[in-house]
Amino acid sequence: MELQDKVVLVTGGTSGIGLGVAQAFAAEGARVAVAGSSAAKVKQAVDDRSGSNTLKGHPCDVTDRAQVASLFAWLAQDVGSIDILVNSAGINVAKRMMANVDPADFDRIMLVNTTGTFNCIHAALPTMRQKGAGLIVNVGSVAGARVMPLAGMPYCVSKFATGALGRFVNLEEAANGIKVTTIYPGETNTPLVDQRPEPPSAERRATMLQPEDIAACVIMVAKLPPRAVVPELVITPPHMMLD
């Protein structure tokens, strides 16, 4: 499927994997909008993009359903009718074990990583159903396929839940021409790893996946014909193979 002029919305699109995905779609000629909770970071992501295919941006806290509704209204008016939604908004905290997690942090991680994804899918589906086509890509984590102490308890729980959300919507909406892919990346060099109790060294970061690696997977999935569905895609660095 050609991506020229497809309307793409990337949440969490101001840094890390989200920004990498947004830039990759723009390079394919898509009309791309990024959303993020920080208006300053949204502006920076838009201003930093040069070339013939620029980004548009709109601030949005994906946990706030009123803000999500405003985001999709803006998208329809200023960019176009949505074809592809990429849910990449996600957070983590340093104190992430059951023994030391703040319950408020647990709630916030679930709200952003899982409920925020639900909110955006729920807002996108009416337009996609009307079109009889659409692609939703959820950026998960291998910590949503295997429990990993490195990722922490709240993050694992949120990503397992997001994976289930994607699988359910895929089953429910297949008859409407809507496809859902959940990508499960291993360690990726993004600002999220700065939230670890001990942030990794530059040498360690060099062994990780890079945002452009995940972006390449998303573009591949987006280019498949309607007859092909990729419910789940796992990508890891060599040191993090899943059995």
Backbone angles phi, psi at 86, to 5 degrees: -115, 115
**How far apart are alpha carbons 111 and 64 in whole angstroms?**
9
Identify the pLDDT of residue 51. Answer: 56
Q: Which of 111, 136, 8 is nearest to 61 (CA)?
A: 111
Identify the pLDDT of residue 196. Answer: 84
Domain positions in the chain = 7-240
Identify the pLDDT of residue 87. Answer: 98
Backbone angles phi, psi at 11, to 5 degrees: -85, 155
Question: Is 155 a residue of the active site?
Answer: yes
Amino acid, single-letter form, for residue 200: P
Distance of CA 189 to the CA centre of its chain: 15
- β strands within the chain, DSSP E: 7-11, 31-36, 55-59, 84-87, 134-139, 178-185, 232-235
**How far apart are alpha carbons 101 and 120 in whole angstroms?**
27
**How far does the chain reach from its first CA to its final CA, in angstroms?**
33
Give per-10-residue mean pLDDT for the chain (243 aa): 94 95 95 96 86 83 98 97 97 96 98 98 98 97 95 97 98 97 94 84 91 97 96 94 78
Query: What pTM was computed for the model?
Result: 0.94
Catalytic residue among 25, 72, 106, 155: 155
Identify the pLDDT of residue 95. Answer: 95
CATH number of 7-240: 3.40.50.720
